[in-house]
Amino acid sequence: MENDEFDIVVIGAGVIGLSLAFRLKRVRQDLKIAVLGDPMNSLMASRAAAGMLAPFGECDRADRFFGFCRESLEKYPGFIAELAGVSDVPVFFSMQGSLMPSAFYGDGWEDQKLFFGQEKIPHEVWTPAKVKEKAPYLSQDCGEVLWVGEGQVNNRQLHDSLSLAMRALGVTVFEKNVTGFIRDESGLESAVTDSGDIKGKKFVLASGSWSGQLGEILGVSLPMKPIKGQMCRVQVVDDLLEYTVHGQLTYIAPWRGGHGFVIGSTMEDRGFDPSVEETVIQSLIDRAAAILPCLKEAPLIESWTGLRPAAEDLMPIMGKSVRYRNLYYSTGHYRNGILQTPNQADYVTGIILETLKEEVAEFSPSRYQL
């Protein structure tokens, strides 16, 4: 292993690292690329997420971040089709849309409606009669419901598919954690793992919530922390709901294909705490069942915890290091890294290969002198 030198070493095997390796290889087949990291890390965000592709429900102003997320949603159908051409792992993906019931959304419902109108976001207001026709299993207490043209993906299938696809393209995977670096003041030479050193010309830090720890080893201070989310999945037949539903402090995401519905989620600032609390899960189910009553009796399949990688300003950190000549970042995708996956892969590929026309200042590592 010591004698091999890779053109690009990506550190992190979540959707961010894998999609980046996939895109780099699609654009430049000749590049020798390695991905490092445990793809089944039990707290990683990519397998913990609900898979909502929700740029509209998650944003309330049309800033650069909103634009980036919207572009990413637009790229999704092509991205999924492209993946399917390389990997035979089926990925559930739907553009059926999301629902926001006025009675359960909280104070922001009218503002969201206004925002959707201003930004020409595809949306409709459904009367209770229309709700009964289009989503008959929703509670009659939902009132008027806002439908918005968003998407849904099964993120575990997406992660599996990316993993297979980039291997099929020739990316080398080391399922090992990085414990150190061989470097000098201005550049990195190798990433150190307990199976040996991986030499590279360029390195990308894409290690989600663990990026801060790797930053420390590199002597840079990433202002990042994990934001814990507890979630669960219940068994419900596919036909009961084809939309994703956003309520106040709750959401319901259909994974279909017999995989039930995901119910989320908490937002907890508790470090790397892996615990799953029964009372918390029950309260998630109760809140979701107020919107979709059949969830109350649905068998619980599993519950889990995952960590969202959050930068201090809640913006992603994507771009070239100002400290090391051959280090790049793609981390801090926080609450919507699954949504950002296709655009992130294009954007960071463009920066690494120096083909991107314009970088987004708000995402730049330079804002933290990284």
Ligand X SMILES: Cc1cc2nc3c(=O)[nH]c(=O)nc-3n(C[C@H](O)[C@H](O)[C@H](O)COP(=O)(O)OP(=O)(O)OC[C@H]3O[C@@H](n4cnc5c(N)ncnc54)[C@H](O)[C@@H]3O)c2cc1C
245 binds ligand X (CB under 6 A): no
Query: What whole-number distance in Å separates Cα of residue 356 and Cα of residue 351?
Result: 6
343 binds ligand X (CB under 6 A): no
Shortest Å, Cβ 59 to ligand X: 12
Shortest Å, Cβ 262 to ligand X: 8
370 binds ligand X (CB under 6 A): no
Among the listed ranges 1-9, 39-47, 103-111, 359-367, the one in contact with ligand X (CB under 6 A) is 39-47
Query: What whole-number distance in Å separates Cα of residue 193 and Cα of residue 97?
Result: 43
Query: What whole-number distance in Å separates Cα of residue 122 and Cα of residue 65?
Result: 19
Shortest Å, Cβ 129 to ligand X: 30
Among the listed ranges 88-96, 141-149, 162-170, 332-340, the one in contact with ligand X (CB under 6 A) is 332-340
157 binds ligand X (CB under 6 A): no
Among 21, 34, 41, 198, binds ligand X (CB under 6 A): 41
Shortest Å, Cβ 144 to ligand X: 24
Decide if 7 contacts 200 (C-beta within 8 A).
yes
Determine the straight-line distance between the first and last CA of the chain, rounded to whole angstroms.
Answer: 29
Decide if 243 contacts 147 (C-beta within 8 A).
yes
39 binds ligand X (CB under 6 A): yes
Query: What whole-number distance in Å separates Cα of residue 264 and Cα of residue 306?
Result: 11
Among 49, 99, 236, 284, binds ligand X (CB under 6 A): 49
307 binds ligand X (CB under 6 A): yes
Q: Exposed, middle or buried by CB within 10 Å (0-12, 13-18, 19+), for 98? A: buried
Among the listed ranges 2-10, 161-169, 328-336, 345-353, the one in contact with ligand X (CB under 6 A) is 328-336
55 binds ligand X (CB under 6 A): no
Q: How far is residue 110 from each of residues 18, 24, 253, 266, measured CA to CA in Å?
A: 39, 42, 23, 24
Among 9, 20, 24, 51, binds ligand X (CB under 6 A): 51
Shortest Å, Cβ 8 to ligand X: 15
210 binds ligand X (CB under 6 A): yes
What's the sign of the alpha-carbon dihedral 40, 212, 319, 326?
negative
303 binds ligand X (CB under 6 A): no
Of residues 236 and 345, the one with the C-beta less far from ligand X: 345
Of residues 31 and 48, the one with the C-beta less far from ligand X: 48
**Beta-ladder partners of 152:** 52, 94
Among 8, 9, 16, 142, binds ligand X (CB under 6 A): 16
99 binds ligand X (CB under 6 A): no
Buried b (16+ CB within 10 A) or exposed e, 321-347: bebbebbbbbbbbbbbbbbbbbbbbbb
Tokens found for residue 245: 């539903």
308 binds ligand X (CB under 6 A): yes
Shortest Å, Cβ 238 to ligand X: 19
Of residues 236 and 339, the one with the C-beta less far from ligand X: 339
Helices in the chain by DSSP H: which ranges?
15-27, 45-48, 64-84, 102-105, 109-118, 128-134, 155-168, 211-218, 278-291, 337-352
188 binds ligand X (CB under 6 A): no
How many angstroms from the chain centroid is the CA of residue 307?
Answer: 11
247 binds ligand X (CB under 6 A): no
Q: Which residues bind ligand X (CB under 6 A)?
A: 11-17, 36-39, 41, 44-46, 48-52, 177-178, 206-210, 214, 229, 231, 264-265, 306-309, 331, 333-339
